[in-house]
Amino acid sequence: MNSRFLQGMRHGIPIMLGYLSVSFGFGILAVQLGLSVFSATVISATNLTSAGQAMGVQVIAAAGTLWEMVLTQLVINLRYSLMGISLSQKLAPSFTTPHRLVAAYGITDEIFAVASSQNFAVTPAYMYGLIVVSAAGWVSGTLLGAAAGQLLPAAVTDAMGILLYGMFLAIILPPARRQPRVLFVVIFAAAVSVLFWHAVPAVPDGFAVIISAVVAAAVGALLFPLQDETEATA
């Protein structure tokens, strides 16, 4: 077996362990919102996007429109396109277009971080090893969580359902503590979302999230513009 593939599998083990616990929470959430164990597992096997999946099942549960789902996923998952563009600078020449298309399926925040931190040109074998192990943890965690959601008492599943939101906080808090502007944008987005909830309840939840994210990002860009590299150097 290719040594790079095995190396990718080894590097994917910590990601897999983290995914097990987080996707367990997603599985519970999906079942609580009325999805079957099979549906929840298929969603995880075909998406690999924690935030996108969490919002997606919310839209499904609320009987949202297809356009609402498309816009929600576009806003939430657009970052993966940027990660793919960045990672493409580190790929080996053997990474042909078909390999890129297959590997794009597995680009997540954690996989991108691990792959881009390597001191060698990333090969298809390494990327596949990293993705296989990580995806296995995500899908199996969802399956276990969804099955447990049908068996465990409601009090337990309600408590464990907070795992997914704990992951969101773990993503937001470190940069918010380091950069006040990130904290401002997070609080502003939350405030806009609360405003929609209380003042404009007729707006569907999915569109409220989209509008809150776009408005907060626009305000943050206007108030805290990033310097161009040439300006920063000067």
Per-residue pLDDT tens for 53-86? 888 888 888 888 888 888 888 877 887 887 888 8
Q: Which of 146, 173, 200 is the endpoint of a domain?
A: 173
Structure-token pair, residue 43: 């969603």
* 43 contacts 145 by C-beta, under 8 angstroms: no
* 61 contacts 36 by C-beta, under 8 angstroms: no
State pLDDT tens for residues 15-61. Answer: 898 888 888 888 988 888 889 999 999 999 998 888 788 888 888 88
Q: What is the pTM of this model?
A: 0.70
Q: Which of 158, 173, 188 is the endpoint of a domain?
A: 173
Q: Which of 173, 188, 210 is the endpoint of a domain?
A: 173
Q: Could you identify the residue written with the tokens 């998406």?
A: 47
State pLDDT tens for residues 100-130. Answer: 999 999 998 888 888 888 888 999 999 999 9
Instruction: Examine the domain organization and report whether 227 and 113 are in the same domain.
Output: no
d(CA 209, CA 104): 26
Instruction: Examine the domain organization and report whether 89 and 111 are in the same domain.
Output: yes
* 16 contacts 133 by C-beta, under 8 angstroms: yes
* Residue-range definition of the domain harbouring residue 103: 3-173
Is residue 12 packed enough to be buried (19+ CB in 10 Å), middle (13-18) or exposed (0-12)?
buried
Instruction: Examine the domain organization and report whether 154 and 71 are in the same domain.
Output: yes
Domains in the chain, number: 2
* 105 contacts 48 by C-beta, under 8 angstroms: yes
d(CA 70, CA 25): 23
- Looking at the DSSP assignment, which residues form a beta bridge with residue 91? 122
Per-residue confidence band for 230, with pLDDT thresholds at 50, 70 and 90: very low
